C-alpha cells in the first residue's frame, strides 16, 4: 500500500506493530532451530552443523547464522532425552521476546552481561539478575540494558575478587578480524594470567625501544639480550625511536613471527612447509604495483610482498588458456607439494560454494572420488576444506563435484552440485569468494548490457516518434 496517506500517528503505530511482529518471528525462529537440531537434521542432509544448514538453505551470512543459533541456545526451549521440555537459559528474556517486547539486540546485551557474572555467584543470584535485565529490556534500549548490567555486575562482585580459573578459561581468546579496505586487520581479546606472564618478558626484549624498528635501518633486530646485538647501536636506536608502546609491540610480533617461520621449527602443514605463501603474476612482479594474496586469504601490497620474498624459494607455475595449471600427472592418492602449490595459485582457497576458507585450511580433493577411479592428476584435483569435503558423499544431502566443461563460462573450474533439498534443479555452483575480480567483471558486463539496452530502447522510441511525425507531415492530417 501507499504509505503517504498515513497520518503521523498511524505511521509510528505501524512501525511499532511491524517491530513487534518481527520480534515474535525471531522467537518462532528459535523453535525451528531447536527442532532442526534435535532431529539431527543437519547430519541427515549432509551439513556438519546447524549453522551450515542455515547458510545453505536460507542463503544468509555466516555471522547471521551464528547469531541465530546462539540466540536459540539460550532462548529456545530444548528437550531432555525423555522429551521433557527444559527451561530456557534466559527464561525472562525468552518470554519478553515471545511477547514481542524485545528484539535480538536486547537479548544480546543481556547475554553479554550474564556471561560476565563470575562463576562463584550463586545460581539464584544469576536468575534474579537475568529477571531484572529481562524486565528492564521491555521498556529500555539495548544500550540502557548493557549500562544497567555494569551496575548489576558491580553489585554482584563489589570487590572484583570473585573471578576464578573457570571464568578466565571461559573468557580467554584472541580475535583477529578481517582485513579492512586499508588492508589493516583489527585484533582484540583477553589473555589469561599464564599467557600474559609468558608474553610480558618476551615483549620486554623484542619490543624494547630501539629494537626491530622497520623505519630505522640501523635498528638491531631480534632479541635485545642476544649476545650479537651491538649495545651502542641499540642505545643510539632507542634515542631515535619515536614509536608508541603499541607500535613497538606490533613490530615485535612481526619480528618474532618472521624468526619463527624462518627457523623451520614449525615443520610442515598439509604437505608444505609452514611459511608464508604469496601468489603474484609476472606482470605484478615487473610493475611492482598493486596487491597480492597469501595462501591464508590475506592481502599484501606488492612492495611488502617483495620484501618478504627476499629470502624466498620462488616457484613458477604455468597456466593453460582456462586458467588451470598445466598437467603434472600423478597416480598416487595424495597430491604432491608441487600440485598443491599450483592449486593454491589457481584457486586461492576452498572451492566449496560460498566458502571463505583460505588455502591453508584446505586439502587436495578429487573431483571424481579416488575410490571410483578418480586420478591424482592436476586437472582432476581441487581444494576443499574439511567441512566442504565432508559434504561430498553418496546418499541424501550429499553434494557432487565435477570439472566445468569446455565452452562454459568457467571452463576448467570446480563445479559443486547441490542436493535437491537446497536446489531442486541442482544447478552447478562455482565459488567466487577467492576470485573477486570475476564478480566485478560480471557486474561490469551486466551494467554495460543494461546501458546498451537502455540506449537501444531510446533509439527505438525516437525512431517511432520521428515516424509518427513524418506521417503527420506527409499526409493530409492537420497538426494543431
pLDDT in tens, 399-431: 889 888 888 888 888 999 988 888 888 899 988
Same domain flag for 163 and 308: no
Q: Which has more confidence, 196 or 95?
A: 95
Closest by CA to 381, choosing from 351, 420, 421, 425, is 351
Confirm whether 36 is domain-assigned: yes
Give the integer Cα–Cα distance in Å for 227 and 209: 17
- Reported as type and span, the H/E element at residue 240 is helix 231-240
Q: Are 299 and 155 within one domain?
A: no
Same domain assignment for residues 375 and 288: yes
Residue 1 within any structural domain of the chain: no
- Report the range of poorest mean pLDDT among 150-154, 230-234, 257-261, 471-475: 471-475
Which of 263, 289, 305 represents a domain boundary (last residue)?
A: 263
Mean pLDDT score across all residues of the chain = 81
**Is there a single domain that holds both residue 413 and residue 328?**
yes
**In this predicted structure, what is the pLDDT of residue 275?**
61
What range defines the domain where residue 41 resides? 15-171
Residue 302 located in a structural domain: yes
Question: Can you tell me the mean pLDDT for 280-286?
Answer: 69
Cα separations (Å) of 168 from 116, 158, 193?
Answer: 10, 18, 8
Contact (Cβ atoms closer than 8 angstroms) between residue 301 and residue 288: no
Pairing of strands 299-301, 362-366: unpaired
- How many structural domains comprise the chain? 3
Q: Which stretches of 302-353 are assigned E, i.e. beta strand? A: none
Q: Is residue 453 part of a domain?
A: no
255 and 239 inside one domain = yes
What pLDDT is stored for residue 324 in this prediction?
46
Q: Render pLDDT for 243-278 as a digit per residue (tens, 0 to 9).
A: 998 999 999 998 988 888 777 776 655 555 546 677
Judgement on whether residues 326 and 190 belong to the same structural domain of the protein: no
Q: pTM score > 0.85 for this model?
A: no
**Percentage, residues of the chain above pLDDT 70:** 80
Kindly state the average pLDDT of the residues 226-235.
Answer: 89
Mapped onto helix, strand or coil, the DSSP state of residue 477 is: coil
27 lies in a domain?
yes
User: Left if phi > 0, otherwise alpha if psi is -120 to 50, otherwise beta: which for 317?
Assistant: beta
Q: Does 2 reside within a domain?
A: no
Model pLDDT, residue 462: 85
Give the bridge partners for 381, in sequence order: 366
Q: What Rg value do the Cα atoms of the chain yield, rounded? A: 30
**Ordered DSSP codes for 102-114:** --HHHHHHHHHHH
Which of left, alpha, beta for 32 (phi over 0: left; psi -120 to 50: alpha)?
alpha
* Same domain for 193 and 165: no
Taken in order 233, 237, 238, 244, the sign of the CA dihedral is: negative
Residue 76 lies in a domain: yes
Domain assignment present for 290: yes
Amino acid at each position: 500500500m501507499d504509505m503517504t496517506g498515513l497520518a503521523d500517528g498511524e505511521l509510528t503505530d505501524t512501525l511499532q506493530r511491524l517491530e513487534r511482529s518481527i520480534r515474535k518471528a525471531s522467537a518462532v525462529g528459535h523453535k525451528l532451530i531447536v527442532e532442526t537440531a534435535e532431529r539431527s537434521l543437519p547430519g541427515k542432509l549432509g551439513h556438519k552443523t546447524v549453522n551450515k544448514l542455515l547458510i545453505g538453505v536460507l542463503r544468509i551470512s555466516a555471522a547471521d547464522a551464528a547469531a541465530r543459533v546462539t540466540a536459540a541456545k539460550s532462548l529456545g526451549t530444548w528437550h531432555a532425552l525423555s522429551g521433557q521440555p527444559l527451561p530456557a537459559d534466559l527464561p525472562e528474556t525468552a518470554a519478553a521476546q515471545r511477547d514481542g517486547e524485545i528484539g535480538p539486540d536486547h537479548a544480546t546485551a543481556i547475554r553479554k552481561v550474564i556471561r560476565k557474572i563470575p562463576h562463584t555467584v550463586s545460581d539464584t543470584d544469576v536468575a534474579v539478575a537475568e529477571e531484572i535485565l529481562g524486565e528492564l529490556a521491555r521498556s529500555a534500549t539495548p544500550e540502557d540494558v548493557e549500562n544497567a548490567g555494569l551496575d548489576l555486575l558491580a553489585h554482584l562482585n563489589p570487590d572484583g575478587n570473585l573471578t576464578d580459573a573457570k571464568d578466565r578459561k571461559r573468557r580467554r581468546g584472541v580475535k583477529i578480524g578481517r582485513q579492512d579496505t586499508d588492508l589493516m586487520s583489527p585484533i582484540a581479546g583477553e589473555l589469561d594470567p599464564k599467557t600474559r606472564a609468558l608474553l610480558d618478558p618476551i615483549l620486554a626484549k623484542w619490543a624494547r625501544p630501539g629494537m626491530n624498528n622497520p623505519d630505522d635501518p640501523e635498528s638491531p633486530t631480534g632479541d635485545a639480550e642476544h649476545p650479537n646485538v651491538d649495545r651502542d647501536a641499540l642505545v643510539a636506536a632507542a634515542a631515535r625511536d619515536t614509536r608508541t608502546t603499541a607500535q613497538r609491540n606490533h613490530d615485535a610480533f612481526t619480528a618474532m613471527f618472521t624468526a619463527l617461520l624462518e627457523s623451520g621449527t614449525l615443520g610442515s602443514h598439509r604437505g608444505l612447509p609452514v611459511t608464508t605463501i604469496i601468489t603474484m603474476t609476472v606482470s605484478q612482479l615487473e610493475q611492482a604495483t598493486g596487491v597480492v594474496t597469501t595462501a591464508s586469504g590475506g592481502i599484501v601490497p606488492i612492495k611488502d610482498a617483495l620484501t618478504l620474498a627476499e629470502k624466498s624459494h620462488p616457484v613458477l607455475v604455468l597456466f593453460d588458456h582456462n586458467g588451470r595449471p598445466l598437467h603434472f600427472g600423478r597416480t598416487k592418492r595424495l597430491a604432491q607439494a608441487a600440485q598443491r602449490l599450483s592449486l593454491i595459485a589457481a584457486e586461492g582457497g576452498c572451492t566449496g560454494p560460498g566458502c571463505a576458507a583460505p588455502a591453508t585450511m584446505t586439502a587436495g580433493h578429487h573431483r571424481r572420488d579416488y575410490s571410483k577411479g578418480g586420478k591424482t592428476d592436476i586437472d582432476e584435483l581441487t581444494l576443499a576444506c574439511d567441512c566442504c569435503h565432508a559434504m561430498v558423499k553418496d546418499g541424501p544431502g550429499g553434494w557432487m563435484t565435477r570439472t566445468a566443461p569446455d565452452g562454459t563460462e568457467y571452463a576448467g573450474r570446480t563445479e559443486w552440485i547441490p542436493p535437491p533439498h537446497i536446489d531442486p534443479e541442482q544447478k552447478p555452483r562455482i565459488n567466487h569468494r577467492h576470485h573477486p575480480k570475476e564478480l566485478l567483471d560480471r557486474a561490469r558486463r551486466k551494467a554495460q548490457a543494461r546501458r546498451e539496452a537502455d540506449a537501444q530502447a531510446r533509439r527505438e522510441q525516437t525512431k517511432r516518434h520521428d515516424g509518427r511525425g513524418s506521417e503527420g507531415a506527409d499526409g493530409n492530417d492537420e497538426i494543431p
